[in-house]
Amino acid sequence: MIAPAPLTGARLDRAYSPSHLVPSLRHYLDEYAALSARARRASGVRTGLRYGPGSAEKLDFWPARQAPAPVQIFVHGGNWQELTERSSAFAALAFRRAGAAFAAVGYGLAPATPLDEIVAAVRRCVRWIHENADDLGVDPHRIHLSGTSAGAHLAAMALVPAGPDEPAAVGLLAGATLLSGIYDLEPVSRSYVNEALRLDTDAVRRNSPPDLLPDELPPVVLARGGVETEEYVRQHDLMAEALRRRGALAANVVEAHRNHFDLPYDLADRATPLGRAVLAQMRLPDGRDDRTDPSAEVTA
CA angle 27/32/37 to nearest 5° reads 125
pLDDT at residue 228 in the model? 98
User: CB of 146 within 8 A of CB of 181?
Assistant: no
Buried-exposed string 143-162: b where 16+ CB fall within 10 A, e elsewhere: bbbbbbbbbbbbbbbbbbeb
Percent of the chain with pLDDT over 70: 94
User: CB of 136 within 8 A of CB of 129?
Assistant: yes
Query: Is the per-residue pLDDT at 28 higher than 80?
Result: yes
pLDDT at residue 227 in the model? 98
CA angle 222/226/228 to nearest 5° reads 90
- What CA–CA distance (Å, rounded) separates 41 from 39? 5
pLDDT band at 286; cut points 50, 70, 90: low
Mean pLDDT of 3-28: 92
Query: Do you find a cis peptide bond into 53, omega within 30 degrees of 0?
Result: no
pLDDT at residue 167 in the model? 75
Query: Is the per-residue pLDDT at 298 higher than 70?
Result: no
- In this predicted model, what pLDDT tens digit does every residue of 101-160 receive, in sequence order? 999 999 999 999 999 999 999 999 999 999 999 999 999 999 999 999 999 999 999 999
- Distances in Å between the Cα of 176 and the Cα atoms of 49, 50, 215, 249, 273 are 22, 22, 15, 10, 16
pLDDT at residue 142 in the model? 98
For the entire predicted model, the pTM comes to 0.94
Mean pLDDT of 28-38: 97
Query: Is the per-residue pLDDT at 67 higher than 60?
Result: yes
Q: Left, alpha or beta for 180 (phi > 0: left; psi -120 to 50: alpha)?
A: left
Mean pLDDT of 233-258: 98
Q: Nearest-CA neighbor of 153 among 118, 125, 128, 124?
A: 118
pLDDT at residue 102 in the model? 98
Provide the mean pLDDT of the chain. 93
pLDDT band at 300; cut points 50, 70, 90: very low
Query: Is the per-residue pLDDT at 288 higher than 80?
Result: no
Query: Is the per-residue pLDDT at 290 higher than 80?
Result: no
pLDDT band at 296; cut points 50, 70, 90: very low
Query: Do you find a cis peptide bond into 111, omega within 30 degrees of 0?
Result: yes
pLDDT at residue 293 in the model? 37
Domains located in the chain, CATH noted: 9-286+294-299 (3.40.50.1820)
Helix-then-strand count for the chain, H and E? 10, 9
User: CB of 38 within 8 A of CB of 252?
Assistant: no
Percent of the chain with pLDDT over 90: 90
Query: Is the per-residue pLDDT at 247 higher than 50?
Result: yes
pLDDT band at 2; cut points 50, 70, 90: low
